Every structure is written in structure tokens, then in C-alpha cells.
Structure 1
Amino acid sequence: MKELHSFAWYAARISPKLPKKAFKPVPGRLWGGLAYLLIVIAGFLTIGLFSLNPFIYLAIAIVLGTSFAAMGFLGHEILHGTVVRKPWLRDLLGAIAFWPLSTGPRLWRKWHNLTHHVHTQKEDHDPDSWPTLERLSKTKILSWIYRLPQGFRAFVSFCSLTVMFSLHSAKMFTAYIKEFNPKHQPSVWMQFILPWVFWISLLFIMGPFKWFFAFLLPLFIANAIVMGYISTNHRLNPITEVNDPLANSLTVTVPKWVDVLHFNFSYHTEHHLFPGMSSKYYPLVKEHIKSMWPERYHEMPIGKALVALWKTPRIYYEGNKLIDPRQGHVYETLGHGLDISNITFNKLDKEDTLVRIIKKSKAKIGKVVKEE
């Protein structure tokens, strides 16, 4: 049986082992951002000013897409205050970094910093969490989706990664705009509208064909890269009553050169322990976690994590399980029996039909898991 602990509990035990510089901003990360910005500008100019073979445009689009994603990773770090601390400069640089993904700094800090990090894996409060079976029974579109075969759902879900970040960002804008102080709402609106005004203006300047390669295709690529990480962050982990990053978060592993290009975005458990620390020091945090709580820590290659996502449903059942309600197949989660090398399921007994499950109380269906 594993007792859950808050991220502050872990941080308090690791902090004394870390160098003081690990808790200071690292403005040197901006050099990487500048490099990506120059690459993006060069790509736009090349596509806009020259008539080239479409395959050359395609190659440039791939570079632009990977640059858009990397700028988003740096923007994530900037808006956590780990690069610069002055609020106006933090928001300005964060706005530039998130410009390709059209996400404003005020919205991101409200949605990600102040809500997702505080309420990680809590169904009613985490804007990035996946639903329980009870919520499925109350949402017509979800109920319809989960009547489709698992393989088809997985295919559509993975295809949707190419647009999911942009769609979710727009959803978060509509969800949170009214929660901002009225005097701040105009700036939130401007931060949401201005990037799209810029990108639509670029459409009229370049024309549809070149705009597709300069922005639309790179946006699809950037969404896929960003969501390739985000989709593995928590979706194989259980719902937890206590915000315990070692229980509800997953670190994925990628080649070292990818970590360099992506500002160590793969270190997600470490990020939830120290969101105010530059990701430059997350490898050191990881060493301490694995030496102190090796049995609690979850990590796997990103490829295996994505395969596990393909093979499992995204509806929670009794907090620490995942269920495919169409077939009554129940899968375990990380820390509760999920073996990614041999993903299996248990089938519900006939008496536990979907109708019977849906009628159970919220406390029974959506309950959080305190311990295994």
C-alpha cells in the first residue's frame, strides 16, 4: 500500500540536495528561443519570396513545425518564471514564444500554472483531465464516441493530435475568460485575437498555397509534437485525491539531442515537483527521485507510452482503472498493475453491465484513489 504525498512534500526532501543555482532563473535559455525565431523568420521569407519546388516547401514546413513546437516548450518554461522574473518581460517573451500556437500568456498561466498544476488529475478541477464513466453517461457526444470500436477511436484520437492543442486552447479561452478580473479581460481578448489576425493576414499576403506550407501545415506538425508529449503526461496514470506527481505523472524518455531541442520537456514528473525551476536542472532532480523513491517513479520511452495510449481507453473507472464501456474491458493504470509490455484487460461480469455502472453514485464511480 502506497501513501500519497503532495508535490511540496517531495520538493521539501529534494531541495536541500540541489545546488542553489537550480532555483534561479536561467535567461541563457533565450538563446535557443532566438535561434528558433530566426529559423521561423527565414522560413517565412523563403516561402514568401521565392517560387520553389513544393517538396522544398514541404521540407521548410517540417522545420517550421518543429520550431513552432520548440518555441511553445520554451514559452511554457518562460511563463513559469524560470527564464526571467520580471512579469512584463516574462509575458512579452511568453507571448512571442506561444505566438505560433496562438495562446496568450495570461490565459496560459490561468489554465496551466494556476489550475492544472494545482489540481492535477482531479476530474472536476483539472482542465486537462479525462472523464470518469459517470461523466460519460451525462455527455451525449462522449457516449456516442464510446460506442465506436476501440481501434477506430484510437486512430481518430491520434489523428486529432494534429489539431488538439489549438482546439483545447480555444476551449480554455471560452472556459476562463469570465473568471479574469474585468480590467484584465480586454488584454486576454487581445492576446487571443492578435495571433490569429496575424496568421490570417499572412494568408492574404502569401496566398493559400504558400500559406499552407508557411503556417497551416507547420501548425499541424507543431500540434502533433506538443500533444505527443502532453498526451503521455497523465493519461496512463490514475486519478489521485492528493496531488502526488509520482503517482499521477509520467516522465518519458527521448534521445538526448531531442531533449536539447525541446528544452527537456520530457521530464514531466520533475516539472510537477518543481514547476518554478528551469528544466535545465530536471536531470539532476530525476537522479534524486530515482535514488529516494525508485518504486514510485514512472518513466518509459515515449514510443512505448504512445503505444500504451493506443491500446487503452481514456475513461476512468473507480479512479485507478481505465474502461472501454462498449465492451466492458477494464485496464489497470500505472502503479496499479499496468504492464506496458503486456497490456491486458479484465472483462466485467454480466451483472456489471454499463447501465448498472452508470446508475452508481458519483462517489462510487468517480472516486479518487487514496492508496492501492
Structure 2
Amino acid sequence: MTEEQHLREYTKALKARLPRHYFEPVPARMIYLPIFLTLFGLCTWGILITPYVALKLLLSVGIAYAFIGMGFLAHEILHGAVTKNPLLRSISGTLAFMPLMVGARLWRKWHNVEHHGQTQHPHDDPDAMGALESAVQRPVVKWLFKQAPALRSAFLFFSFTFWFTFHATQMLRRFLPEFKPAERRVVLFQAILPPLVWLGVLFWVGPLNFVFIYLLPLLGANFMAMSFIATNHLLNPITETNDPLMNSLTVRNPGWLEWLTLGFGLHIEHHVFPVLSPKYAARVAAEIKKLWPERYNELPHWKALFYLWKTPRLYRDHRNLIEPTTGQVFGTLGFGLDDSRMRPARAKPQMVAPKRPKPNAKS
């Protein structure tokens, strides 16, 4: 792979090849919101009336899908890919993100501005993983990375069941001081509203039904969200230039599953054009592959998850991951990540000395 290119180099070339209406909102996508809400309502009703635990569990899966579907839709809405109306965008985005307990205004700051503006930047992207020296400076992280790689991977995948919602609370603490006082009240209201709503549901349905109606679906929705979010970037190199073909990954699933997940896996396309509806992402992917076939990162979703399991989550430098217990180095996407490097190294657990990442040459 060649050196980094800036996002605007891609957008300029692609806009000349794509129809103008691709960059307009697609209001018809809003129909998913009442569909997901109806699915949630029907499954909730079924859980309340059935005495059978197995059936409650099955209906819980239906609610989990409604929750993650609403999360994917909220992502579209709050990027402006469904409507440009600010009030409608805020209300529908808040409602769609309520199961995952994320505020719409916070999301636009955390995700739209900070993550998209600084994707995979080693210091400025709030969703990026750290470099090796962070592991030896923070006691909890240092302890974690002294554990066997398989145990650490198991914990990583277990954390998918809660990480998205938990991370949102950390982003609230991080970014709340940056809002103006008037906006801060909105951010706080949107953060407090979902827990109050779900507390009301708890009192209404009782603790046992609440487990099936909310807690189990929340875990499932978090896991599904993180299975995409973690694979979208964490196998990619660190970049100081915002280059979506280097710092992002498109994960592919069978067509029916891509339809059910609203095309969220086509993530390079989303980072090139954040306001573009996933409805058009496949066409954008085809054009990118024509123009920059050697730069495009695409994997089956299952293989990306396999790579995520087998590689450590610390960067030795901008283009390599490192296993701190053994010193084994793994390449990132475009820079040597492949099946042949997935064999576990045999060595006694011992933290290796940190090496500071060397800055990339900027294009």
C-alpha cells in the first residue's frame, strides 16, 4: 500500500462519477423506525403474556434485533442521510438511540465531528486504541496485557456485550465540558432520559420480564454493534492524515444480513461520504474499487472477527500491532496482516519495553 492520501482527494474524484441525487437525504429510510418500534412492542407483549422461558428468550432475540436496527438507523439519521430537518433529526435520533442509551447531541459531537474528523489518529480519535507505552503507564491496562492472549481476546469479545453503552458514558464525561451552557443542558437531558424511561419500564413489567424485555436485548444489541465497530477500524493502521481507504475496513455479510443491518458494514464508503445513505454504498464501493483497487480494504465479517481475536490491540508503531507478552509483531490491513501470522508465539508472559510510534510521512 502506498502512503496516505487525504479524504478530499477521494471525494473530489468520486463526486465526478456519481449521480448528484446520491448526496440528498433518503426520507423513505425513516420507515424503519416504526417497523422496529412495532417489532419491539409485539415482542414485549409476547414476553408479558407467555409463561414459557424458552419463548421469552426467543422474543428477546427479536427485541435485540429491533434495538440494533434502531441503533444503525440512528447513525444514519444523525449524519443527515435521512432528513435535513434539525428538529426531526434530533427527535428521531434520540428515540432510535434510546435502547443503547446514547444522546443524539453527544453522538454528533463524539462520532460525527471527532471520530470522523480524526479517524484512527493516535491521540485525537476517541474510538482509537492506544500505543504500547500506554500499557506500561496505566496499572490496569498493564495487568490486562500481562494475561495470556487467548484470555485477553475472550475478555475483548465478552466486553462487546456492554462496551458501546459503557463507552457512551465515557464520551459524556469527556466532551460535556466542551459544550456551551445551553447545549450542555440538552446533552444532559438526552443522557438522563433513556435511563428514566427504562426505569419506568422496569416498574411496569417487573424485574423478571425486564430481563427479557431490556437487559438481555441490550447485551445482544451491544455485541452486534461492537462486532461491526471493532472490525471497522481496529485492524487498520494508525493514520495522522484522514485517509479512509487506509484507516477503515468494509466488512461483508450475506446479502440478506446486510439488508437486515441496513448496510452498516460498508464502512469505507461511509467514511468517504458520511452523509450518503447506505442505500447507495454498494455503488460507491464499485467506483472506489475501479479507482483505487490496491488501497481498498474489504473482508468477510467472520474473517475480520477472526483476525480481531488472533491479534493484540496495541500498536507498536503506526503500521504494526504488538503482543506485549512475547514481543510478536502483527501487521495491520494493507501492511502484512494475513493468516500466516496468526500462529500464537510461545514465550513466558513478560511485558516488553515500549517503543514510541514513529510518525508517518504525510502525503
TM-score by length of 2: 0.96
Deviations 1:300-319 (A, max 9, x none): 10000000000000000111
4+ residue segments displaced more than 6 Å: none
C-alpha distance in 1 between matches for 2:313 and 2:91? 36
Residue 350 of structure 1 corresponds to which residue in structure 2? none
Does structure 1 retain, via aligned residues, the 8 Å contact 2:201–2:210?
A: yes
Q: What whole-Å deviation, never above 9, does each CA across 1:61-111 have from its counterpart, x for those lacking one? A: 001001100110010000000100011111111011101111010000000
Q: CA deviation at 1:45?
A: 2.5
- 1:366 maps to which residue? 357
2: CA distance between counterparts of 1:366 and 1:144?
22
Aligned to 2:310: 311
The offset of 1:39, in angstroms, is: 0.6
Give the match for residue 124 of structure 1.
123
Does residue 245 (structure 1) correspond to residue 236 (structure 2)? The answer is no
SS of equivalent residue, structure 2 residue 16 = helix
CA distance change for structure 1 residues 6 and 22 in 2, over 3 Å: closer, same or farther?
same
TM-score (norm 1): 0.93
1:35 equivalent in alignment to 2:26: no
Aligned to 2:158: 159
State the one-letter code of the partner of 1:33. L
Measured in 1, the distance between the counterparts of 2:27 and 2:262 equals: 13
Q: Give, in angstroms, the shift of residue 346 of structure 1.
A: 10
Change (3 A) 1:334 1:371: farther
**1:216-257 CA-partner distances (Å, limit 9, x unpaired):** 000000001100100101111110121101111000001111
> 1:262 offset after TM fit, Å?
1.3
Contact 2:7/2:243 (<8 A) preserved = yes
Q: Deviations over 1:250-272 (max 9, x none)?
A: 00001111111111101000000
CA contact (8 A) 2:4 2:243 kept: yes
Change (3 A) 1:328 1:15: same
- The residue number in structure 2 matching 1:274 is 273
Read off the aligned partner of 1:301 and give its amino acid letter: P
CA RMSD of aligned residues (A): 1.9
Which residue type is aligned with residue 107 of structure 1?
L
Cα distance between partner residues in 2 of 1:99 and 1:131: 29
What letter corresponds to residue 47 of structure 1 in structure 2?
I
Alpha-carbon distance in structure 2 between the residues aligned to 1:130 and 1:37: 34
What are structure 1's unaligned runs of at least 5 residues? Answer: 348-352
Task: Indicate the SS of the match to 1:84.
Answer: coil
For the residue of structure 1 that corresponds to 2:34, the secondary structure is helix
- Distance in structure 2 (CA, Å) of the matches to 1:173 and 1:113: 15
Aligned partners of 1:312 and 1:322 also within 8 Å: yes
What's the counterpart of residue 7 of structure 2? Answer: 7
Offset of residue 115 of structure 1: 0.1
Asked whether the 8 Å contact 2:99–2:218 carries over to 1, the reply is yes
Cα distance in 1 between the residues matched to 2:248 and 2:196: 36
1:255 aligned partner: 254
Aligned length: 361
Q: How does 1:1-372 map to 2 (within 5 A)?
A: 2-48=2-48, 50-339=49-338, 341-344=339-342, 354=351, 357-358=353-354, 360=355, 365-370=356-361
